[in-house]
Amino acid sequence: MSTATTDPERIHHVHHDRTDGPLSDTLVDAVAALADTDPEDLPPLDSRINVAALDGLWNTAGDERPPDGCLTFTYGGFAVVVRSTGTVFLRETE
């Protein structure tokens, strides 16, 4: 997982690679790091979204390119946009 911050309105982005493990773990770890808290102190991700569906959404076998798309939801005080490219954008909600 690599992270970076794009300053306009403090948009953070994380790149998830299939070798990083489940996308849901990358997402929870990124939100915990940005919120300066332990992942266990965050609300359960499955209270916001179907975790199995999130993890399997763009999970393709081999070197297949996943179909284009994005998914948007809120979690742990952040607006989350997950792109099929593996990039996750996070912006703190007011």
pLDDT of residue 7: 53
Q: What's the predicted TM-score (pTM) here? A: 0.82
Listed in order, strand segments (DSSP E) in 7-86 are 11-15, 70-75, 78-83
Mean pLDDT, all residues of the chain? 84
Choose the weakest-confidence range: 1-15, 21-35, 40-54: 1-15
pLDDT given at position 65: 67
Based on the structure, what is the number of domains in the chain? 1
User: Mean pLDDT over residues 44-50, rounded?
Assistant: 95
SS3 of residue 89 by DSSP: strand
Q: What is the rounded CA–CA span in Å between residue 90 and residue 59? A: 21
Q: Could you give the CA distance from residue 86 to residue 39 in angstroms, rounded to a whole number?
A: 21
Q: Rounded distance, CA 79 to CA 43, Å?
A: 14
Owning domain of residue 20: 2-92
pLDDT for the residue 9: 65
- Rounded Cα gap, residues 4 and 53, in angstroms: 26
Of residues 76 and 4, more confidently modeled:
76
